[in-house]
Structure 1
């Protein structure tokens, strides 16, 4: 009897296991203060070459909400960064139909309570069955009630790789049924969008809807420019179907208007919410042919830029930075200081100078990326938007100029700025020069830099840092190449009296830089700050003179003179900082009128002009941007360009980024730039603007405007 029982028991076990429902594959839940997140697989596993579905489920704190693809008037869409084995691919998020969340005058789009975000996952055909494979998802979201809190979680999911196609997991069926029920379905009705100056019309051709009880219709656009988030969408039902009146949120994007149309239908006395994914033909005409010769091809679309391409552009841009007026005197002084060194010593100075440049670029990039990660809308040159930093730079330029003029010497070498900071032949002076050259280069934007830095700020920190360091390496390369080339060093002129004359001449570009920085302060913080900084410059100049005259005296005089000089410099910095904090900025483009050929930029004014189908030229600039000022003098303010703009009816808008402006920062980023200058020319009928190069000529501007008929 027992011999028969054992095989029977084994058979029953096999039958039971074959009939058992597939096991649930889910990762551990991770809870933040306001959201609990978890990954779940729809199937019991995955087979090589198979596509399976993963759900990111978020349980949101009551009365709080997260955000949709287009968050509306404010907010940030939830994002998922996947870490997958080689060959595995994760697709885009399939977004459920959103809800509206009015907050004062603003309206946001997003989700409350519980939301399931579905993502397709595809295995490579050569995936090896066996032990489970761990997937990692770095999830970031913004959760809001009366306040908004950025949150994140790192989620994991162990996916078994099976020999055969994976079956659905019974325990996951309800979750995925609910998730798919929340997705918009393709619209069964023809839809078109009729553009208008002040109002678009979304027309849904569905006569059967006219017979039903339809209410609460709303169109959620993928692109916020298609329809203003906080504007009502009046609905009209007639025999042809449903029409919604949309208030434009900006210039109508190119291509079909995509989004989600929702409405509530009363069926048997019960409300049923419908959600349709639509792609509406806008009927917009093709834009006029662009003036290809003036397009900055690299900056036209940073989405097409690879990391290798961005690094190359950064190297080229960094080399060009050496020709900028603030950087060139510093580099020239350092180059002349090499004359007294042998080749071996020169190479040491070249390497240490490069280390100083890279260290300073890494510090600036680290601060920029950290502040952006914290939600600050800033870009390249952000530190110059602080009047205190500008004041300090003005003092530094003045002191360097005084040193070159012979008022005092920093170190024993006549040309070695910073050479007295350390021994070992002044190697620390070379490091300091690299740092200084980087600091004074930040007001400048060279060709190729815009695309490289615009790409960098959209990438993970390690890729962004690689681009910034490449920019620094490019800036250091000319000097580094000089120090590693004995032939070039031998061609350098012999030391002599001429070096003192050149040194004194190089002081004047630094004085000019200091004067320009004071003008920047007048724009940033007004006349009171300028007065404080000018007084501080007198004190700083006296401190430099006092430091110089006491160097040849006894120890007591040297120490006393040095302390007094230091106290004067510190007091000057503190005085400038205190005044700058309390000052009211005077915007560069704040005024417009008959005496000026431009208006102050605003998104509302741009939208108004675009709605009237008028040509518009937009100049995003800053008082501290050297490249911007040169372009304005040589290419945008000439009589020829002014006359051409007037004859063609072009409205010139100027956006001032001298002080921090989050709206302008977002516009710069939307065009793949991390800083100014940015020049946009909107042609009549064109969906997207022409992006002009960062270095302009009068001919470049006129050629760009040529397609516009006056």
Structure 2
């Protein structure tokens, strides 16, 4: 082929590929900037195109010079709020809505307090263009006025214009700025709000406690209602937060008070809540003396019940295998040993719950965003757990045995010991964290937000609930006598129970692959080979000892040393695994065609503003409760058909790896782990569903039956 022909075809191909992009570039999604000595103002669009009847956002972007600021809806003691009037004409017509205000900063200047924005801010408005001229472009014109202040204040004014083509909505390069602005808006408060005649603003509800609230302040939507610069005295006790506001002339004791309450927790994280406080005091149950004791008693009961139900959850099945075999001592009539073993097992569970809860609280105070089951968000931890359970399975199959230690957990190994009882309890808690039984969600959230003493008490109650069935069996002689006598069947059962362990290893391998990507597969498999090699070497050494060789024999020592080296190599391999690679916000757990879309707070707010019902499913690949619910209650065809008929948007958030947005959503709904299911009807507040779902419950919630 001649060179000119090659060049011609290359140019033609490039123009064909770039044509759509060049076409969009001709219709910029931002206006010409207006620049002054105090900053730059631009009108932005979140889409490169428009479609009649479909909502879109436009926004005034103010990039302010250092030291300058502009003002919120309520400017405070001085200033003037930004205004933005937007009008569409041409191919579609419409008027922009009110500004969707991000949370402002508090700026103090001597005796004055202002609510303002600095640096770079986007102030969005919503527009739903209506059909006007078919085939024509839409022309958007906007007029903005704002006041910028530093040592002096300067009023500024600008007019903007942009033209957008008619085409399916396509995110513009400026769309991330709108997502950031949406994330900076306050969320609806989950707490009941009241304003007393003396100006005491009260928030009441679970999750408020002195251990979690470090600071709080209120910013009213309307000026003249409070003295903005006056100190807002904060009082917090379990279930109640109160701010002492100094009222101003515009305050009406019989009218609601709307605004934003910003709460800063012990880690320094701030959460902005949109509140409308009704006139009056806080709910009597929250304000009454002794109400905190009633709340604590309820949380203790929920924790104990949740711990008991956890025995029935699939996460604990592998450990139950070892616990069942330990009942052999009871059947032999060794009552004292049975009671001691049950007590040590319960102690291991309680200590593990308390340590895990304390670790979560400590990490949060250090600024980390962790929740219940956070250790399973680490691919390193998942791989180590897989190898540990694989080693236990090999022990149950009789490949090797240890007199003490992990292989003798609960009497499951060839020999038993007190250390084994304790470690059984610890392991039960570790592997139970991917499951959240009914009642546990509220109990865990309460424990992590309560005072240290109350939090420890709640975790202790949860541990006692998990250990209660075993303690009952060990302490009641009549129940012990119902157990079958020991015999050859015990050996068969012990080997059969190795297979739930191996099935758990398969599940953990799948989770590790989702988190670590393809590189995790050979490392995980290589670790399993090394664990098997270590088990074989241990068995060979034991056989030599049984044949008459001493433990100090060279071959025996070589076997023991080789086993230790194999284990060390496996543990060292996990340092080669990269951080979790699971796509943030996408669902690694979703089967193809489940009709879900990735969770996004901005998308959720957009759908709710459009009046569309939304079903939120917060899940994780390592959460067995989540997977069971998805398979049993959310995947059936009749449920999917009902979602389609009702127009329900199914959003799924994947917490397999760390995701700050999902963690924030969980906390906003009083949860510290998954699963979490929330249904937002077309008009109304969100409905939090139980942690165990059925198809009937889901259909009833969305109004399909």
User: What range is the shorter-chain TM-score in?
Assistant: 0.5 to 0.7
- By how many angstroms is 1:590 displaced? 5.1
Cα pair distance change 1:322/1:456, threshold 3 Å: same
Residue 288 of structure 1 is matched in structure 2 by none
Residue ranges of structure 1 left out of the alignment (5+ in a row)? 1-62, 65-69, 73-95, 118-144, 147-194, 200-213, 219-231, 236-246, 265-273, 283-301
Asked if residue 109 in structure 1 is aligned to residue 105 in structure 2, the reply is yes
- By how many angstroms is 1:252 displaced? 6.3
**TM-score, normalisation: structure 1:** 0.59
- By how many angstroms is 1:549 displaced? 2.3
Asked if residue 657 in structure 1 is aligned to residue 655 in structure 2, the reply is yes
- By how many angstroms is 1:373 displaced? 1.5
Cα pair distance change 1:198/1:330, threshold 3 Å: same
Residue 417 of structure 1 is matched in structure 2 by 409
Residues 127-526 of structure 1 aligned to structure 2 (within 5 Å): 216=147, 249=185, 259-261=219-221, 279=256, 306-341=295-330, 342-411=334-403, 416-417=408-409, 426-526=417-517
For the aligned residues, what is the CA RMSD? 4.4
Q: Is the 8 A contact 2:534 2:564 kept in 1?
A: yes
CA offsets, 1:529-558, max 9 Å, x none?
122111111211221122122112131344
Residue 85 of structure 2 is matched in structure 1 by none
**TM-score, normalisation: structure 2:** 0.60
From 676, 679, 700, the equivalent of 1:678 is 676
Secondary structure of the residue aligned to 2:578 is helix
Cα pair distance change 1:250/1:108, threshold 3 Å: closer
CA distance in 1, matches of 2:381, 2:219: 45
Secondary structure of the residue aligned to 1:552 is helix
Secondary structure of the residue aligned to 2:327 is helix
Secondary structure of the residue aligned to 2:543 is coil
Secondary structure of the residue aligned to 2:346 is helix
Q: Is the 8 A contact 1:615 1:649 kept in 2?
A: yes
Secondary structure of the residue aligned to 1:680 is strand
Residue ranges of structure 2 left out of the alignment (5+ in a row)? 1-65, 81-100, 129-144, 150-155, 160-180, 195-217, 225-247, 260-290
Cα pair distance change 1:692/1:528, threshold 3 Å: same
Q: Is the 8 A contact 2:325 2:412 kept in 1?
A: no
CA offsets, 1:458-505, max 9 Å, x none?
212221121112111111111111111111111111111111111111
CA distance in 2, matches of 1:408, 1:98: 78
CA distance in 2, matches of 1:334, 1:469: 20
Secondary structure of the residue aligned to 1:527 is coil
Q: Is the 8 A contact 2:311 2:466 kept in 1?
A: yes
- Of 533-542 and 609-618, more deviation after overlay is shown by 533-542
CA offsets, 1:673-696, max 9 Å, x none?
11000001110111x211111001
Cα pair distance change 1:638/1:588, threshold 3 Å: farther
Cα pair distance change 1:276/1:438, threshold 3 Å: same
Secondary structure of the residue aligned to 1:323 is coil
Secondary structure of the residue aligned to 1:580 is coil
Asked if residue 599 in structure 1 is aligned to residue 590 in structure 2, the reply is no
Secondary structure of the residue aligned to 2:220 is strand
Residue 626 of structure 1 is matched in structure 2 by 624
Residue 53 of structure 2 is matched in structure 1 by none
Cα pair distance change 1:398/1:421, threshold 3 Å: closer
Cα pair distance change 1:593/1:467, threshold 3 Å: closer
From 570, 574, 578, the equivalent of 2:572 is 574
- By how many angstroms is 1:361 displaced? 1.2
- By how many angstroms is 1:427 displaced? 1.2
CA offsets, 1:367-403, max 9 Å, x none?
1010111222211001111111111111111111111
From 534, 539, 542, the equivalent of 2:533 is 542
Q: Is the 8 A contact 2:679 2:686 kept in 1?
A: yes
Q: Is the 8 A contact 1:616 1:651 kept in 2?
A: yes
- Of 586-595 and 643-652, more deviation after overlay is shown by 586-595
From 561, 565, 587, the equivalent of 2:559 is 561
- By how many angstroms is 1:525 displaced? 1.6
CA distance in 1, matches of 2:693, 2:591: 25
Number of aligned residue pairs: 473
Secondary structure of the residue aligned to 1:380 is coil
Cα pair distance change 1:449/1:98, threshold 3 Å: farther
Residue 698 of structure 2 is matched in structure 1 by 701
From 624, 643, 646, the equivalent of 1:645 is 643
CA distance in 2, matches of 1:611, 1:657: 26
Secondary structure of the residue aligned to 2:409 is coil
Cα pair distance change 1:601/1:304, threshold 3 Å: farther
- By how many angstroms is 1:588 displaced? 7.6
